[in-house]
Structure 1
Amino acid sequence: MTGVLPRQGIAQMIEAGAISAATPIDPAQIQPASLDLRLGRVAYRVRASFLAGEGRRVADRISEFEMHRIDLDGGAVLEKGCVYLVPLMERLALPEGIQAVANAKSSTGRLDLLTRLITDGGTEFDRIPPGHDGPLYAEICPRSFSVLVRPGMRLNQVRFRAGQALLDDAQLAELHAREPLVDGPALISDGLGFSVDLSPELAACAGYRAKPHTGVVDLDRIGHYDASEFWEVVPAAQGRIILDPGAFYILVSRESVTIPPAYAAEMAPYLAMAGEFRVHYAGFFDPGFGHAEAQGKGARGVLEVRCHEAPFVLEHGQVVGRLVYERMAEIPDRLYGAGIASNYQGQGLKLSKQFRTG
């Protein structure tokens, strides 16, 4: 078996005890190609982000950096600009040959809520080697908005992979020829490139910029907040916008993307020399995203952009990111958007699910 494990494979890992939790895992946590992870009951406010380091436990290192601890029962606010460490409900006992990679969920990224997985013995974020046996922790740093969280909330997710699943450029080109992955010419270079949409049709609202001084976002309140209280509309004059240093933007890709059922994808940054900005990649793209078999006709990629160092001109059609595709070990028994609550199937420019724009 080679490839990303589908939801039925994840369910088998749970049954075998490779994935466990003190509070039983909810079947709704199991996505087509990933498992949602749940916050535990306590958060530690720490002085700085850290990794455990080889041969060291996260629990032992918390005492070096802890400022205070917060009980999440009943809800607690994680403040903008602060760093927190939250033990997760799930733990892993990975078999040899199975590695795991984590990423923030889509709504987490759209809130500019930096969320990364760390583990005992870890020397990098979001990567768990085969054979790892131990608890999991989420490092959370709200960057644009303070947020209200509770135990059981799902801010990040984990994928499991057996062997080499990544498609190289030749294989990606072959897949695109067989089943178009974008609605137009494909720019294939270390993945499938995509560009930003700042076309005349979006001149009045090409995107959103996070306001610097706002209220708290309760992550459980879906469609609750008036977007205008948290976001400024960004118009595009003559097919361009100027990114302000330090500001966070929600933009949209020009291309509509498809993820066929036998594949999964992940958003990755483009070359650093392309400009003084970064597409903050939150996400895994599940099998069936934008695909006809899952009631989709292609879906835009939402871009979470932060500018660094100096103001930067971003122009319509400028390449800003790429999708890397991986084979599934087998087709999931349920696809993204097909009979499950998939918030972003068929999406265009869209804020996280907590906001209403109408």
Structure 2
Amino acid sequence: MSDAERPGILPCQSIDALISQGAIISQSPFDHDQVQPASLDLRLGSRVWRVRASFLPGRHTVRDRIAEVAMHELDLEKGAVLEKGCVYIAELQESLALPPGVAARANPKSSTGRVDVFVRLLTDRGNAFDDVEEGYHGPTFIEIAPQTFSVLVRRGTRLNQLRLKRGRPEHLRTESVGVDLSNGIAGFRARRHAPVVDLDHVDGHDPRQYWEPLIPQNGQLLLDPGEFYILASKEAVEIPVLEAAEMTPIDPSVGEFRVHYAGFFDPGFGTDEAHGKGSRGVLEVRSHETPFILEDGQTVARLVYEPLTNRPTRLYGDLGSHYQRQGLKLSKHFKAWNG
């Protein structure tokens, strides 16, 4: 079976080819590091609208629906603060003209999920968030809902990423992920009344203003309803160079908490070949209606592995990464914890 026929996720060189062919179009030149080993970072455009409710376009275009629910428009050329507890829709710089047989799926970037900003991709006449139908031609938009921190964004800020794929493999490999509550500082809980987070300012925020360290008792941690936590996986995570993975919640019937809003792992993450051996998965956890006790090693999520159509010419970390070889780690916006 040729690479063009093999089902799976498209690697970076195939994404580059789609850009060259005009299947992925941008309002401005693509950044040199925008194409990742198995995904494409998407960038905010010039305008964002505060809306009174989330929506799915259904039979309509996104712009038509925005006109119905918009409260006011913000200009991102000079930057704008998006307030926590509010919902926004922003235009993205990238639009799509996918060839037959090629579909896509979006997900928040790791740094977006780790500051509890909930984002979802929207496409014209789409009936589901984040999923792009085969052969879609049209613009892309992003719903942005900051949950814990108000955030400062600008034109070009990257909040989500797109994974292109062809077909669907018959069998997908899965792996359970447990939580590490074994010793010392095992996690962080977000502070409710923190300053704004500038999402383009790397290593620019004092973590003590935003986070409270957590020390488990007897290998247990009590999750309070409505709070947001950063924890780490018990196991090292390794994504083989011929696969990509997505971290997904465990059985929804568990109900008490949700884990991982930003779930894409690119090929090479945590591998010896990409100098990442021993990397842990960072878990974004939000408790729901009732207090819930987590225990060391308890399964909280699953990794779903999907093959690539062929080996990527770049691996995770080749263009620089804040998260290769990570343990328990806050987002790139914060200085290293030294408290």
Specify the TM-score bucket, using the shorter chain as the normaliser: over 0.9
Letter in 2 for 1:198: L
1:37 to 39, 42, 62: 42
CA distance in structure 2 between the partners assigned to 1:88 and 1:247 by the alignment:
30
Correspondence 1:351 to 2:334:
no
- Per-residue deviation at 1:293? 0.8
The answer to whether the Cα contact below 8 Å between 1:166 and 1:326 also exists between their aligned partners in 2 is no
Aligned residue-pair number: 332
How far does residue 273 in structure 1 lie from its aligned partner after superposition?
3.0
- Give the match for residue 62 of structure 1: 66
Question: How far, CA to CA, are the matches of 1:63 and 1:311 in structure 2?
Answer: 40
Alignment of 1:1-358 (within 5 A): 1=5, 2-53=7-58, 55-165=59-169, 167-168=171-172, 172=173, 191-199=174-182, 201-202=183-184, 205-337=185-317, 339-356=318-335, 357-358=337-338
TM-score by length of 1: 0.91
User: Residue type of the partner of 1:343?
Assistant: H
Offset at residue 88 of structure 1 (A): 0.3
Question: What is aligned with 1:178?
Answer: none
Q: Residues of 2 paired with 1:11 and 1:220: CA distance?
A: 25
Q: Cα distance, 1:63 vs. partner?
A: 1.2
- Report the alpha carbon displacement of residue 283 of structure 1 after superposing the two structures with TM: 2.1
TM-score (normalizing by structure 2): 0.96
Matched letter for residue 278 of structure 1: R
Between structures 1 and 2, the one with greater helix share: 1
Task: Using the aligned pairs only, state the percent identity.
Answer: 56
| Partner amino acid, structure 1, of 2:209 | E
Question: What is the alpha-carbon distance in structure 2 between the residues aligned to residue 166 and residue 262 of structure 1?
Answer: 16
Contact 1:242 1:312 survives alignment (8 Å): yes
Distance 1:132 1:60, change over 3 A: same
What's the Cα RMSD here? Answer: 1.0
CA distances 1:109-167 after superposition (whole Å, capped 9, x unpaired): 00000011001011110000101100000100000100000001111000000111364
2-side partners of 1:79 and 1:166: how far apart?
A: 43
Q: Name the CA distance, whole Å, in 1 between partners of 2:42 and 2:115.
A: 18
1:275 shift after superposition: 4.9
Instruction: Say if 1:167 and 1:327, in contact at 8 Å, map to a contact too.
Output: no
Distance in structure 2 (CA, Å) of the matches to 1:166 and 1:60: 38
Q: CA deviation at 1:272?
A: 2.2
Q: 1:290 to 1:167 in 2, by over 3 A?
A: farther
Structure 2 gaps of 5+ residues are none
Say whether the 8 Å CA contact 2:244–2:267 is kept in structure 1.
Answer: yes
